[in-house]
């Protein structure tokens, strides 16, 4: 079935055609009819399979058909996401699909000045895509009212609920005066999180769309390489040099590691940028822009960004550190191989991380292919590195960085 055959607005069909979307993906095919009927939906599908469009298309269509003009009479759909990057990405999809329709959409998040956001809200919008923090600030200030909301969407629902947003979600639902439709979308979901999701659904008409047994898309070739913790930077240098034209995202466990990896790459003449929770919103947005537009082809990120980066041309994902939560492996590697594109994901695993690897393989219900590196190749990778810094220099650099962070905190306290 093609999108042309769907009973949706001609304007939405034009937007889909312009984007090159002819046929719905599996999750879109299964979800759109149920959402158009007003049913509650719990949808679980692999990362990169078009989940955002699966709820954006029917939501925009319903609001467009119900309006007689572009004038907004209040927020009709509330979309909540766990991170700023993800909320920005969802808002962009809504803006694109709602072009030339009567639907007004707006992305709201913290880290930026409120004044412009308040002005936009006062102009009237139909779809609000937001992170919880800034939304509650503006609700308490009386700038956001949810009286007219009839559709609530939780994207990356497992992450929302896992982060402890359940009380926030329950509070939001109390503010919804109308009978409303609830949509849960995610790439992974545990039995515990599924119970929490069910607890927030008023009707029995919830539909569950379950992803295949293979939680990682078939478009992604993923493997693991056994590397000592202190040698990971040499193998990252090698992969970066072997893929000179590729856009690469490197995932690390902590903010400190993100800073250290970027500096280590800089020492060998490889430019990289990073994104993590300690960066202010302007810095995070600028890093994303540089990476998206190809000004810098390597981005080092923590898990705060694993679910918020939707850039179709990422060719390689490197798990420099294995994720502490097994499900985050799926979200990380899912940054490549999106849509119809092919991608590669390589994980570095040290002796200290072998137990974590076992947990990830248990979560996937299958082993991850091993990329074997013989002793000669291993030694050559280190010997051929252009890095001249010793381990002592790296430790000294890290300690200097930590001291600078402490000084910044002391200055903030004095203010």
User: pLDDT tens digit string along 204-247?
Assistant: 656 666 565 677 888 899 999 999 999 999 999 999 999 999 99
Find all residues with CB under 8 Å of 396, minimum gap 6, and list them.
none
pLDDT at 391: 41
CA distance 315 to 336: 6
**Is beta strand 151-155 parallel, antiparallel or unpaired with respect to 181-186?**
parallel
The residue with greater pLDDT, 110 or 13, is 13
The residue with greater pLDDT, 18 or 47, is 18
CA distance 173 to 151: 11
Which tens digits make up the pLDDT trace of 305-318?
666 677 878 999 99
pLDDT range class, residue 399, cuts 50, 70, 90: low
| Site of tokens 């009839």 | 150
Mean pLDDT in residue range 34-55: 86
Q: How many CB atoms lie within 10 A of CB 74?
A: 12
pLDDT at 234: 94
Question: Residue 159's closest CA among 65, 81, 214, 95?
Answer: 81
Domains and CATH numbers, the chain: 3-209 (3.40.50.300), 220-405 (3.40.50.300)
CA distance 136 to 362: 38
Mean pLDDT in residue range 385-409: 61
pLDDT at 354: 96
Which tens digits make up the pLDDT trace of 251-265?
999 989 999 999 999
pLDDT range class, residue 351, cuts 50, 70, 90: very high
pLDDT at 164: 66
pLDDT at 395: 47
Mean pLDDT in residue range 111-117: 85
The residue with greater pLDDT, 150 or 414, is 150
pLDDT at 186: 81
pLDDT at 155: 87
Answer whether 362's CB lies under 8 Å from 326's CB: yes
| Site of tokens 């200097």 | 400
Which tens digits make up the pLDDT trace of 62-77?
999 999 888 888 999 9
The residue with greater pLDDT, 411 or 319, is 319
Find all residues with CB under 8 Å of 375, minimum gap 6, and list them.
none
Mean pLDDT in residue range 197-209: 66
Task: Annotate 195-244 with DSSP letters as a single string.
Answer: HHHHHT--SS--EEEPPPS--S-TTEEEEEEE--GGGHHHHHHHHHHH-T
CA distance 76 to 301: 34
pLDDT at 412 over 80: no
Mean pLDDT in residue range 330-359: 91
Mean pLDDT in residue range 84-88: 85
pLDDT at 194: 72
* Average per-residue pLDDT for the chain: 86
pLDDT at 389: 43
Question: Residue 397's closest CA among 263, 276, 272?
Answer: 263
pLDDT at 390: 42
In 3-state terms, what secondary structure has residue 301? Answer: strand
pLDDT at 183 over 80: yes
pLDDT at 401: 66
């Amino acid at each position: 079935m093609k999108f042309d055959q769907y009973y949706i607005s001609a304007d939405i069909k034009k937007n889909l055609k312009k984007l090159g979307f002819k046929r719905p993906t599996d999750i879109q095919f299964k979800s759109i009819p149920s959402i158009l009927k007003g049913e509650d939906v719990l949808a679980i599908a692999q990362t990169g399979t078009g989940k955002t469009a699966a709820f954006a298309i029917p939501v925009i269509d319903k609001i467009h058909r119900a309006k007689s003009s572009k004038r907004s009479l209040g927020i009709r759909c509330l979309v909540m996401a766990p991170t700023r990057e993800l909320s920005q990405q969802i808002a962009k999809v809504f803006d694109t699909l709602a072009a030339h329709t009567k639907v007004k959409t707006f992305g709201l998040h913290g880290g930026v000045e409120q004044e412009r956001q308040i002005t936009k809200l006062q102009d009237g919008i139909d779809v609000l895509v937001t992170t919880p923090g800034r939304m509650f600030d503006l609700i308490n200030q009386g700038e956001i009212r949810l009286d007219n909301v009839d559709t609530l969407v939780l994207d990356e629902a497992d992450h929302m609920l896992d982060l402890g947003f359940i009380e926030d979600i329950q509070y939001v639902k109390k503010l919804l005066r109308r009978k409303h439709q609830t949509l849960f979308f995610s790439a992974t979901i545990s039995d515990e999180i599924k119970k929490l999701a069910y607890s927030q659904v008023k009707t029995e008409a919830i539909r569950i769309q379950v992803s295949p047994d293979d939680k990682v898309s078939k478009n992604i070739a993923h493997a693991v390489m056994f590397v000592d913790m202190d040698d990971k930077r040499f193998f990252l240098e090698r992969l970066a040099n072997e893929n000179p034209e590729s856009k690469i995202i490197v995932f690390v466990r902590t903010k400190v590691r993100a800073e250290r990896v970027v500096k280590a790459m800089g020492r060998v003449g490889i430019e990289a940028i990073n994104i993590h929770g300690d960066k202010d919103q302007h810095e995070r947005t600028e890093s994303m822009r540089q990476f998206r537009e190809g000004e810098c082809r390597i981005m080092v990120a923590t898990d705060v960004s694993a679910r918020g980066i939707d850039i179709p041309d990422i060719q390689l994902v490197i798990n420099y550190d294995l994720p502490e939560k097994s499900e985050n492996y799926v979200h990380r590697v899912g940054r490549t191989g999106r849509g119809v594109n092919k991608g590669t994901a390589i994980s570095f695993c040290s002796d200290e991380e072998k137990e974590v690897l076992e947990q990830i393989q248990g979560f996937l219900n299958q082993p991850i292919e091993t990329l074997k590196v013989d002793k000669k190749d291993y030694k050559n990778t280190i010997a051929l590195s252009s890095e001249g810094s010793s381990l002592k220099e790296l430790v000294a650099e890290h300690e200097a960085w930590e001291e600078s962070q402490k000084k910044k905190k002391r200055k903030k306290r004095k203010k």
